[in-house]
Amino acid sequence: MSTDTDTDAYLRRVREERARKDEFFGEHPRSPIPQTARSDFDGLRYFDPDPSYRFEATLHEHDDPERITVETTTDGAREYDTVGEFRIAVDGDDVTLQAFRSPGDDHRLWVPFRDATGGEETYPAGRYLDLEAPDDRTADGDWVLDFNEAYNPYCAYSAAYECPLVPVDNWLDVAIRAGERLPDL
């Protein structure tokens, strides 16, 4: 963030997006919150927004993307193409995150991750980032990885959902205290 005004606008945008998501989770018929728990639902739990967890990073594309099979929470499987990797520094530690695409989807990247907060502060199976081109790209072509937008998969809220598990390559030793926290249901 280049100025205090930019930071204030960014923080306001993050809080507004979270308020919209809380409203969806609390009221929408397609919410993953079980109907029986919605009357007690007073919003998702988040880490405070922190601009230092927003990164502009180059996608280092793989010459020959590999198709992998990812297990799911219900013993199923889904296929993804490993298209490249992001290299960033989180709190002074170098981190590499693989970026995936669903076969046939040329516009979105899926960046799942597990970090050192898993199980105590965040969902133990990991969280996700979804990136969409060109919205998540900077003028020079870098992608924006904003961990303040990291979210829990729907299976964190209800066993009725099947969610892909985070591939081992994206298990991180660092703590990423940004985005959604462990649900309080």
What does the pLDDT read at residue 69?
Answer: 96
- Are 102 and 75 in contact by the 8 Å Cβ rule? The answer is no
What does the pLDDT read at residue 184?
Answer: 80
Query: pLDDT tens digits, residue range 108-132?
Result: 999 999 999 999 999 999 999 999 8
List Cβ<8 Å contacts ≥24 apart for 104-111. Answer: 107/132, 107/133, 108/132, 108/133, 109/59, 109/83, 109/133, 109/136, 109/143, 110/80, 111/86, 111/145, 111/170
Higher pLDDT, 185 or 145: 145
Query: pLDDT tens digits, residue range 127-178?
Result: 999 998 766 666 677 899 999 999 999 999 999 999 999 999 999 999 999 9
Confidence of residue 104 (pLDDT cuts 50, 70, 90): confident
What does the pLDDT read at residue 185?
Answer: 62
Higher pLDDT, 40 or 18: 18
Residue 181 clears pLDDT 90, i.e. is over it: yes
% of the chain surpassing 90 pLDDT: 83
Domain ranges of the chain: 46-170
Average pLDDT score over the chain: 92
Query: pLDDT tens digits, residue range 77-87?
Result: 999 999 999 99
The answer to whether the predicted template modeling score (pTM) of the entire model surpasses 0.75 is yes
